[in-house]
Structure 1
Amino acid sequence: MQPQIPLYLSALANWTQSTLSCQDLRIPVSVEKTAAGEFSRDVYNDEILFALAGRKILVSNTYEMSARLCMPENSEGPHADTLQVLIHGASFNKKMWDSHYKPETYSWVKRMSHEGYPTLAIDLIGSGNSTFPDGLFEVQTQMYVETVHHLVQQLRKGEVGGRVWNKIVLVGFSIGGMMGTSLAQQYPDDFDALVLHAISWDISWIYPAFLSGLQAPARDIDPEKWGHISPLYQTQSTREGRRVACFAGSYEEGAVEWDWHTRDFDTLGAAITFTYHLVEAHEYSGPVFLGLGDEDSTFCGGRVCREQGYAVYKKFPKASAHDLKMYKETGHLILYHHSGQALIADTLAFLDTHGF
C-alpha cells in the first residue's frame, strides 16, 4: 500500500510551471493629522508619547506606497475576483511573500497565483521601495493602519490597476497581523476576510523578544548600504539575532540566509506603538484565520505556545467563523519553516470554505 501524500505536497508537482503577470505600482496614500498640538524632535516631551499611545496621527502627509500586483494565469477561475493584500512584518518588506530561494516551497505569491488568486504585496511606508519619512512621528503603527485603509478605499473604487475589487482579503504577518486586528476594529468593512500569521494577544514576551533580536540603527550596521537612512530606522545586527527573532524548531538554513539578506527595517515609532493595536474588533463580522507557531519567541518567549491563540475567539466576537491553527516545531516566521506548506494549505482551505 502506497503511503498517502499530503494534499499540500501533491499540489506542488505542477504549480511551479504556472505563469503569472505582475506589475510594480507606486500608489499615493494620505493621512490626516488627528493629534492636537505641534510636534518636533527638537523639543521632545511626553505629549508625543501620549499621542502615539492614543493611536493618533501626528503629521498630515501623502506618501508613495510601493506594491506588486500579480494576476494569475486563469483570470476566469473561481478565485479571480478575490484580491489578497499581503502585509509584511516589522523589519521585512514585500519580498518576504515571493522568495527566490526555493520558490516552489516558500513563495506565497506563486502558490496563490497557481490557485487562481490575485495578490497585491505592499511595502509599508518606511519599508522596501515606499517613502521613508520621519521614523518617529510618521512611521508608526496608526499611520500604517490609515495608509492601508486609504489603499483599500482606492481598491474598492477601481483606482489601483483599473479594476474594482469587491472581495478583499488581508493576509498579515506579525505587525501586519496586528494591523489586521486594528483595521478590523476601526474600519470593520475594509476587509472581507482576515488571515493573520504569527500574532497573539499575549504581550508578555514581545519587548524582551524585540531586545533579544539585537536591533541597531541600520546605517551603523552597514554604512555603505544604509548610511543615508535615519538612525530611527533599525534592523537586526547579526544573523543569530535574526534567527532568534524569526526561527525555531524545524527549518532549513537556506531559508534563514534568504531572510537575512532581504531583511528590512523597523522604526522607533513602530516599535513604540505596535502593541496598542492588539485590540478587540467588536464589529467585524467576516471570517478570521489565525496561524501561530508553537515556538514563536515573540509571543511565547521561553514557553511553548498553548492557549495564546484561543484569544482570537474573544477578540473577534462577531466574526462569522474562527479558524485557529497551531504549527509544531515552528517559530515566528511560519512561512519559512517546514510547516510553511501546511500554513498555505490551511489558508487555501479556509478561503475556499468561506467563498473566497
Structure 2
Amino acid sequence: MRLPVKVTSALFACGVLLASLTAAMPAEAAAISCTDTDLPVTGPGLPPLVPGAPATVHGRLCLPAGQAPDTVQLLVHGGTYNSAYWDLPYEPQRYSYQRDMAGHGYATFAVDQLGAGRSSHPLSLPLSVWAEAEAMHEVVGHLRAGHAGGVAFGKVVIAGHSVGSGVVAVEASTYHDVDGVILTGITHLPALPVLVVGAALGLQPVLLDNQLSTLGSDPLYFTTKPGARAGLFYAEGDADPAVIAADEATKDQVSVPGMGTVAVFGIVLPATKGITVPVLQVVGEKDVLFCGPLALRDCSDAGALHAQEAPYYADPSKLTTYVLPGAGHSVALHENAGDYRDATRSWLRERVGAAPQGYHSIG
C-alpha cells in the first residue's frame, strides 16, 4: 500500500530532523572536554604523607573544542567547598562555571585545595594561607609547563572564591607569576558580627559531621552544620533549592588555621597591595558575610564597591569591580550567575587580552 504523498513527506521530514538531532549530539558532547589530574606540590611545614612522596593537588582541566586557548583560569574554591563549586553536579548548562567557560572558548583548571576533595589531606595545623599559596604557585608552574592535559599555557589567570580569594591574593602578591587575578565573594572589611555568629552556629568539627566523618580528619578541620549553607551562602529569591541541596551534598572541610590566617593576612591586611596585574573583584549584592552596614561596605553597585576597595590596591586603575544583583555569597551558584560569567569573559578579553577559542554551546 502506497502512503499519501503528504504523509510520506511528513515522515521524511521527521526522519531528517531526527537524523540532524542525532548527528548534533556527538558534536555537542565533543564541544568541551574535561580531564582530571594530580599534580605534585610542596608547602612550608607540610611533611609528605608518605616518606619520600610529595603532596598532590587534584584538579580538573576543561577545554573547548579545537585548538586549546593560550590562557587558562586557575580556579580556587572557598572554605568548606571543593572544586565542585566550579562544576556543580546539577544543571551544568546553568550552574557549571567550568563547562560554561569551555562552551564559550575558555580553558579552566579547578583545583581541590590541600585538605579538601581529592587533594592530599595533611595535618591541619601547618595548613596556613602561605602553605596553600605556595601550592597554588606550584600549580601555576605546572600549567605553564604543560603538566595538566599536555597543554602549556602562555597566560594564567588565578581566580578565587571567599577563603580561596584570600589564598589567591597572597599567591599573586608573593610570587608575581600570573597575568590576572579574579577575587569573588570577598571585600576587605568582612561583617565580623555575622562571621562570628555564623561560625559559632553554622560550623562544627568534621569529626562530628555524619556526612564527612569518614574523612578521618583531625580536630581542627571544620565544616558547615546541616542546613547552614542556605543562610550563610545564598540570598533568598535568587537561589534554587535544588542547587543548595547539591551544595550540601558536595560540601567539604576547611582547616581552621588556614581559615584564620586567610582572614587576617589575605583579607583584613591588604595582601592585594602587592598585586601588580589586572584584578576583577566580584561580590553578590546581598552577601551577608562581606557586604552591608556590618561590613561597612555598600555593595549596591560596582561604582560604590570600587570607591571603597580601591585604597587596598597599589594601582586602583587596574581594579575592575562587579556586583551581581540579588546574589548572596556564593556568586557562581545563584540563578543569575550567567551575568557574572559574561562580565568575567568581558574582563578577560579587555583587561587580560585573553581571546576565546571559538564558541560552543553546552545546552
- TM-score normalised by the chain length of structure 1: 0.80
Bigger helix fraction: 2
Q: Which amino acid aligns with 2:73?
A: Q
CA distance in 2, matches of 1:192, 1:59: 28
Which residue of the other structure, out of 61, 68, 71, is the alignment partner of 2:63?
71
CA distance in 1, matches of 2:209, 2:88: 24
CA distance in 1, matches of 2:28, 2:224: 32
Show the counterpart of 1:132.
121
Matched, 1:242 2:229: yes
Matched, 1:90 2:90: no
Q: Which amino acid aligns with 1:28?
A: P
Closer, same or farther: CA 224–243 of 1 in aligned 2, 3 Å: closer
Show the counterpart of 2:328.
331
Matched, 1:261 2:245: no
Contact 2:93 2:100 in 1 (8 A): yes
Closer, same or farther: CA 319–220 of 1 in aligned 2, 3 Å: same
Deviation at 1:321, TM superposition (A): 2.7
Matched, 1:183 2:171: yes
* 1:106-117 paired onto structure 2 within 5 Å: 106-117=95-106
Max Rg structure: 2
Contact 1:93 1:264 in 2 (8 A): yes
Residue 263 of structure 1: SS of its match in structure 2? coil
CA distance in 2, matches of 1:252, 1:242: 13
Show the counterpart of 1:192.
179
Q: CA RMSD in A?
A: 2.4
Deviation at 1:311, TM superposition (A): 4.1
- TM-score normalised by the chain length of structure 2: 0.79
Show the counterpart of 1:8.
none
Contact 1:170 1:194 in 2 (8 A): yes
Show the counterpart of 2:345.
348
Closer, same or farther: CA 115–213 of 1 in aligned 2, 3 Å: farther
Which residue of the other structure, out of 117, 138, 141, is the alignment partner of 1:150?
138
Contact 2:76 2:168 in 1 (8 A): no
Closer, same or farther: CA 319–261 of 1 in aligned 2, 3 Å: same
Which residue of the other structure, out of 35, 42, 58, is the alignment partner of 1:23?
35
Deviation at 1:167, TM superposition (A): 0.5
CA distance in 2, matches of 1:125, 1:230: 14
Deviation at 1:285, TM superposition (A): 2.8
**1:180-201 deviation digits (Å, cap 9, x = unpaired):** 221222122x110111111000
Deviation at 1:69, TM superposition (A): 1.3
CA distance in 2, matches of 1:224, 1:312: 37
Show the counterpart of 2:7.
none
Deviation at 1:329, TM superposition (A): 1.6
Residue 297 of structure 1: SS of its match in structure 2? coil
Show the counterpart of 1:3.
none
Contact 1:99 1:106 in 2 (8 A): yes
Contact 1:283 1:318 in 2 (8 A): no
Point out where structure 2 has 5 or more consecutive residues left out of the alignment: 1-24, 49-53, 355-363
CA distance in 1, matches of 2:336, 2:218: 36
Deviation at 1:163, TM superposition (A): 3.1
Residue identity (%): 25
Closer, same or farther: CA 151–337 of 1 in aligned 2, 3 Å: same
**1:291-327 deviation digits (Å, cap 9, x = unpaired):** 1112112113665743555444222223663211112
CA distance in 2, matches of 1:178, 1:209: 21
Deviation at 1:153, TM superposition (A): 2.0
- Paired residues, what number? 312
Residue 182 of structure 1: SS of its match in structure 2? helix
Query: Which region of structure 1 is more displaced relative to structure 2, 126-135 or 216-225?
Result: 216-225
* 1:152-171 paired onto structure 2 within 5 Å: 152-171=140-159
Contact 2:165 2:186 in 1 (8 A): yes
Point out where structure 1 has 5 or more consecutive residues left out of the alignment: 1-13, 32-56
Q: Which amino acid aligns with 2:182?
A: V
CA distance in 1, matches of 2:350, 2:204: 43
Which residue of the other structure, out of 207, 212, 234, is the alignment partner of 1:219?
207
Contact 2:55 2:120 in 1 (8 A): yes
Show the counterpart of 1:285.
276
